[in-house]
Structure 1
Amino acid sequence: MKVCIVGPGAVGSQIAAALVQGGAAASVLARGAHLNAIRDRGLVIATADREERVSIAASDDAGKLGPQDVVVFTVKAPALAAAMTQARPLLGKATEIVAGMNGVPWWFMSEKVKPLLDPDGVIAATIGGASVIGGVIYTAAHVAAPGRIMLTVPRRRLTLGLVPGAKSIHLEKLAGILDRGGLPTKISASIGIDVWTKLIGNLSGNLIATVVGLPLNEAFAHPDNREAARRIIDEAKLLAAALGYPVKVDTDRMVADSAGIPHRPSTLQDFEAGRAIEIDALFRAPLALARSANVATPTLDDWFGRLTAKIEARTS
């Protein structure tokens, strides 16, 4: 099976390494220092006490990699349209696409979130009639150096599932390859539930940690922040249920889990590095869906207002 990862950052690199170790003909579409490091020294996935290094085909030219059986997009949402344009030579007539980004994905209730997630229609035009597989990954990791991914917490897992209306001839084989390659992977019959389950955690953990500028465990050490997280989680659960995705999440357990993770979420990493934050997919799209469903989200509104004020202060 030929599989290419577009955007091999902290998440995509883990998937790429698992594909290689599971026996796939894997490649990455990368650029800059990260690309050079992967070409020269391989791709390294490390924890505090061990590391694994894999050799993988890497290029910044999709035409040189050619059409694939599966293309996995793990870029941040603001970069997705540009990445899809660059990746067009990877997409053959039967290529299947895995969407492995945070937040509300472009395929979810597309008409309600399209103005935020695909305003120019680039994503829809590129995808065409391709089968789309949704992906949800739980991992605490960051790019420690070009070609080197550091796992803050060794535990990780990936869930894959067909989006509504899609069909796949590769899903089961792909999941098996990833699982054999060391990335625990399961197939979900309702990927929308899985997307919303993770999104609820992002709405509380990412938002609060980014606003206060602290890793999850330090941010959630403050009682007021934990209470805000509980309220955001409960508001998001009501929203998910109103949209037809009744998420079974224990609010106190989710808060306790976040409080035990010494990790700077991706939104905080991006803010501190001066990069664009996934503000539309992670925050504006859920809020737009809440308005359309007449679901009140006062705590989420408050903390999102704090985030936008912080972003505006950085750019002023």
Structure 2
Amino acid sequence: MKNVAIIMGGYSSEYKISLSSGNVVYQNLEASNYNIYKIHILKDKWVYVSTDNTEYPIDKSDFSVVIEDKKTTFDVVFNAIHGTPGEDGLLQAYFELLGIPQTSCDYYQAALTFNKRDTLSVLKPYGIKTATSHYLNFGDEIKADEILKNIGLPCFVKPNKSGSSFGISKVKTAEEFLPAIEMAYKEDNEIIIESFLDGTEVSVGVISFKGKTKVLPITEIVSENDFFDYEAKYLGKSKEITPARISDGMKQKIESVAKKAYEVLKMKGFSRSEFIIVNGEPYMLEINTVPGLTNESILPQQAREAGISLPELFENAIEEALK
């Protein structure tokens, strides 16, 4: 039987969500098919956590663990880490160097898509529409009047490389602009300022399933808050409607853009792209390559709607990685 390491945790504000995702994967994988190990990768420790919660340190030189004097190595890694180092390419590169297959995309794709600015720049030439945006690096001079004249109000100020809507603000007045920039810089040293797109927000999962690129049913997001922020995502302050209430024509348009982005970027494993539909056109916001995998998360909702159970979804990811 293959030894599967489910990695969870991470070094970012999203580590608690990642632990939930990892536990859902653990509960849904069939123990009769694999030997499953929960691995916590945290800033202060990398450990295997046994069923009785005993922790065994991971040897980073070859990603192995010694359990009761017996060394265990892993055939495949199931990546459930949102944010750094699981979603930004660091662990993908590490596992590639060690020759251990893992379930998410490769390191370059992870690093690229983790950077919202660079992802959108790469996709733009392929006719994929995006919001008007302005980028700042920490220490840049902030010409607030000039930026707002170009972007308009309201607008969004976001950290360029963070997830779960940490550090994002919707700015409605010029007075709120500089405090929003300050808040975003707490999460990241690069920020992205985007024009407000007033339309229907949708999220679409694209995965490698049984050797083919599969677009999952689209989810419409109706946030009670000003936008789909942390509370809306995790504290029930939003309605997620799958399948989305959009026309067949719009559905086909979004599916084709999401699939094109997945294939242009040479993605693998799971992905979830966010779009806002304005005047009949989908505008891409971002792509997540390690989307949430808890029971409430969007991608599992979409898989269920497509008739794919969680055990099937997770086992497929492992089998695709082992190919």
If the length of structure 2 is used for normalisation, what is the TM-score?
0.31
The structure in which a higher percent of residues are helix is 1
Q: Return the TM-score normalized by structure 1.
A: 0.31
Q: Greater CA radius of gyration, 1 or 2? A: 2
**Greater strand proportion:** 2
